[in-house]
Structure 1
């Protein structure tokens, strides 16, 4: 028997700090996986906005995380700031207090408020709560590549999304006080609790074929998919474990921690998958085509096409297993539930 899945639902959010809280943002993407089903994109409610707004997303999360289904949500912006920030501004090392203080100075959840309005002094008092671009949290050092939450205006920056997103963490926390914000509420969430974690898609995105998703879509997909896989295998429990030594864990409960980053920093070898457009990759075990057909194994049996070998495929929609030529895998549809050609015999 397989290990019991801890979370029945996983949600991945690729965040955006562009424009205002009410703006429809193409870069703000959400994917959700339920049970064993592959993650699907979640679109905003029907209305005038084509894409999610930050306000709309926060309201949707509050509605969705009602405690009925154990859920883990990964969001890719910083949840807190480096200890140097707390020291410079004389703040207690306490995350709930940090949220209140930050929102008082950076009201980026206000209507018609851009992050840059606070940066230039038009709104709020950002000048009184500033940090240096070279300051990094321990967890950012642990990943080896994550940028500082104060490093604005560069490629791959998370500074705007962090400064735009933190007030909405407070909003969600106030609306759903039973949610576990990891690791601030503890490193080991209680069984059955829904959890919100800080994610860094770069740790996981290369483990899954991008198919026809945009980069923003794929980052959200990868978060939801990794959380889903790790919940089923038990790897998520290991990722929840507090880093050692204790001093690092204590700092992490103030600065926040990126899930699956490790201390001391190590260079992890992560499985890379060649683009699904490259024929060689489509026969690799674990490859899933855009019709949700996964390669399980190479059988070694001859196919019915020239010089082809049979592969065992599995449909992620209905669970059917069948044989197919290697040359057909990239476009194969399930013969049981999607009108695909009959599967080939496996002996």
Structure 2
């Protein structure tokens, strides 16, 4: 099992525009407090991609957690997009497909993919605008999401649902564009073997860190320093000496990166029993789900 010198949590965003307010990055070392990583300007998705390229160049032993889904449901139907002849057959080919169809969309947006005549059939786009192949009340789920809900480890939403404050489809699509443009320069668990050194990327779910810290499922967002301090204590992390922002996205990143430091040392989290080779190459897995 790998040991890492530092840990980063990226609270991602699929919102429209160059500088989505939901983007936040936090880092922590082997000891001490987490800190927000603040650029000269507000973060953009392109700036995060460039920052990750810098990590790849530095080859530091750092674990990066992305708060987005790195795959779409595949196992339940044997396809990401049934009835579409051009449906990709692996996660990496899915990333390539999305990025290719959205090549003209600025700021790593995924608008063109959602307008594609075959792809759009599978999504709930807005109230009164649901594709004819969108399935069920909440949409299709990946195996890890189905297991999360049954085992009550989390309450994941379907990536095919683009409606509501809890939707994760837009952030996942934009994140997949970024992953394709990273050009395999950083290994991604569980799609790639974990190298002996250098950076590694994992998919995380910030609500799992909040639950592990003892926050109730219906009030898992932290909006004040006192609550953040108590939650960080659960993961034996100090409180940041100074914070320029205390909002949902910043505190999500700060708390989750402290959780990552502890969770990464648990061998079972790297080898969940339900993670098959097929799932590992198509849908992926959320780190921390057993």
Match of 1:128 among 94, 118, 123: 118
The answer to whether the aligner puts 1:80 opposite 2:108 as a matched pair is no
**Higher relative helix content:** 2
The answer for the alignment partner of 1:251 in structure 2 is: 279
Matches within 5 A, 1:57-206: 57-83=48-74, 84=77, 85-86=79-80, 88=82, 89-90=84-85, 91=87, 93-107=89-103, 110-111=105-106, 114-116=109-111, 118-119=113-114, 121=115, 126-130=116-120, 131=122, 132=134, 134-144=139-149, 145-172=155-182, 174=183, 177-186=184-193, 189-206=194-211
Query: How far apart are residue 190 of structure 1 and its match?
Result: 2.7
Mind listing any 5+ residue stretches in structure 2 that lack a counterpart? 123-133, 150-154, 214-226, 230-242
The Cα of 1:56 is off from its aligned counterpart by 0.6
Instruction: Provide the secondary structure at the position in 2 that maps to 1:259.
Output: coil
Q: Comparing both chains, which one has the higher relative contact order based on Cα–Cα distances under 8 Å and sequence gaps of 6 or more?
A: 2
Listed as ranges, the gaps of 5+ residues in structure 1 are: 263-347
Check whether the contact 2:108–2:178 (CA below 8 A) recurs between aligned residues: no
Structure 2 CA distance for partners of 1:229 and 1:154, relative to 1, 3 Å: same
| Cα gap change, 1:117 to 1:142, in 2 (>3 Å) | same
Per the alignment, residue 32 of structure 1 pairs with 27
**Offset at 1:249?**
4.3
Aligned residue number for residue 258 of structure 2: 225
Pairwise CA distance, 1:64 = 2.4
CA distance in 1, matches of 2:103, 2:156: 25
Count, aligned residues: 237
Q: Considering only CA atoms, is the larger Rg found in Structure 1 or Structure 2?
A: 1
Q: Is this contact kept in 2: 1:14–1:76, CA < 8 A? A: yes
Between the aligned partners of 1:226 and 1:191, the Cα distance in structure 2 is: 22
2:88, 2:59 → 1: CA distance?
Answer: 35
After superposition, give the CA deviation of every residue in 1:205-262 in whole Å (9 maximum; x if it has no partner).
Answer: 244442483211121112211111223xx21x32111433x7x442233111111112
State the match for 2:247 in structure 1. 214
Please, what is the CA RMSD of the aligned residues?
2.4
Q: Is the 8 A contact 2:46 2:107 kept in 1?
A: no
Structure-1 separation of matches of 2:108 and 2:178: 14
